[in-house]
Amino acid sequence: MGDIIRYSNLLTLEIVLNNETLSVLTDRDFFGEISLFTEQKRRTAAVISQSYRDLYRLDRELMEEVLKRYPKIAEHIKNISDERVAQNKGLFKKDE
């Protein structure tokens, strides 16, 4: 809960909600950022790996430190978070 995870090594992940594919993430994409920028503290979708690779995890405290230290990166991640929320508006409840 509240973690951001970044992966690499040409991994493909499918983001699924209510048996519907919302998106497919590939090399150097990330997920979990919505909980960092919204009041949404629970995950909003399931992540299904299409192959076995390493996942890298940053906990909330470390990620918040990184975002404070690098505001341009924070802005970039926030923009992606906002886009994802807008694209999937209505698919998940705001308070869940």
Give this prediction's pTM: 0.73
User: Among candidates 49, 50, 70, 71, which has minimal Cα distance to 5?
Assistant: 49
| Domain assignment of residue 13, yes or no | yes
DSSP state of 18: T
User: pLDDT truncated to tens, each residue of the chain (96 aa)?
Assistant: 556 666 656 678 898 988 889 888 887 788 888 888 877 666 778 888 887 777 778 888 888 898 999 999 999 999 998 998 888 776 655 444
| Domain assignment of residue 96, yes or no | no
Which pair of structure tokens corresponds to residue 46? Answer: 């399931």
Number of domain units in the chain: 1
What is the CB neighbour count within 10 angstroms for residue 18?
9
Domain residues for 54? 4-87
Which pair of structure tokens corresponds to residue 35? Answer: 């909980």
Q: How far is CA 46 from the centre of its chain?
A: 11
| Domain assignment of residue 39, yes or no | yes
Residue 26: what residue type? Answer: T
11: domain CATH number is: 2.60.120.10
